[in-house]
Structures are given as C-alpha cells and as structure tokens.
Structure 1
C-alpha cells in the first residue's frame, strides 16, 4: 500500500510542478504579447515620423530649387509647369 502512496505522491508532485511551469509560461506569454503590442505601436510611430521627415525633405528641396539652386532647377520647372497647367484648367472650367 505504501508503494501506491509513493506513486500517488510522486504524481502529485509532478502535476504540481507542471501546473507551476504552465503558470510561468502563461505569464511569459502575456508579457511577450504586451511587448509585441508596444513594439507595433512604436513601429507605427516611427513610420509616421519617417513620412513627416520625407515630406519636410521634399519641401526643402523644392524651396532650395525655387531659391535658384542649380541642383533642382529641372524639378522646379516641372513643378511650375504642372501648377500652370492646373491653373489653366481651372480658368477653362470657370469660363465655361
């Protein structure tokens, strides 16, 4: 009878250890999920910031070209031509 009792005790100990390990793993999983959510949020913030900086960079390039920088003269001429075409279209629509 004591042999069965020892086996039952051993099983109880193993089950207890397994339950404890399971709880630890659940906590680790929860922590990792929180970290993933935080990192995704940071990634979206960084992507938004990158887009803002790219827009500012393009604006600065355009401003430099309009100030007479030889480096961006072609781009400036193309942009001005596009704006003139848009204005012409607006005038045409208004005159109809």
Structure 2
C-alpha cells in the first residue's frame, strides 16, 4: 500500500512539473508571438520606406538624365512613355 502511495506521489509530482513546464512554454510562446507581430510591423514600415525611396530615386534619375545629353533626353522620354503606359493600364483596369 505504501508503495502505491509513493508511486501516486511521484506521478503527481511529475504531473505538477509537466503543468509548470507547459505554462512556461505558453508564456514564452505568447511573448514570441508578440515579438513576431512587432517585427512584422517594423518590416512592413521598412518596406514602405524602401518603396518610397525607390520611387524617389527613379524620379531623380529621370530628372538628372533630362538635362545631361541628347541620349539622356531620349532615355528620359522613354521612361516617361513607360510611365504613361503604366498609368493607362491602371486606368483601363479601374474602368473594368
């Protein structure tokens, strides 16, 4: 009988340890999930900044190429035409 009681006590202690470990894992998981969401938010912000800077860079390239040489003017004209085509495509998609 004492042997059975000892085994029950050991099982209860192991169960308590398991529950404690589970609760610690759940807390860590919650913290990590929060950290992931924060990092995703920061990444989205950085991507938006990158896209804005990329657009600004392209604009500066076009502006710089317009005044340099005849080749630069041709390149600028081609870029402007490409942008106009993109805008036309967007308008066409919006009209659907």
| Larger CA Rg, structure 1 vs 2 | 1
Residue 47 of structure 2 corresponds to which residue in structure 1?
A: 47
Report if aligned partners of 2:67, 2:73 keep a CA contact under 8 Å in 1: no
Unaligned ranges ≥5, structure 1: 84-96
Distance 1:15 1:43 in 2: 41
Residue 81 of structure 1: CA displacement? 6.3
Residue 92 of structure 1 corresponds to which residue in structure 2?
A: none
| TM-score, with length taken from structure 1 | 0.74
Residue 82 of structure 1: CA displacement? 7.5
In structure 2, do the counterparts of structure 1 residues 81 and 59 end up closer, same or farther at CA, with 3 Å as the change threshold? Answer: closer
In structure 2, do the counterparts of structure 1 residues 8 and 69 end up closer, same or farther at CA, with 3 Å as the change threshold? Answer: farther
Residue 73 of structure 1: CA displacement? 2.6
Residue 31 of structure 1 corresponds to which residue in structure 2?
A: 31
| TM-score, with length taken from structure 2 | 0.74
Residue 67 of structure 2 corresponds to which residue in structure 1?
A: 67
Residue 7 of structure 1: CA displacement? 0.7
1:37-94 deviation line (CA, Å, top 9, x unaligned) = 01111110111011011011011111101222566332223356689xxxxxxxxxxx
Distance 1:32 1:77 in 2: 51
Report if aligned partners of 1:66, 1:76 keep a CA contact under 8 Å in 2: yes
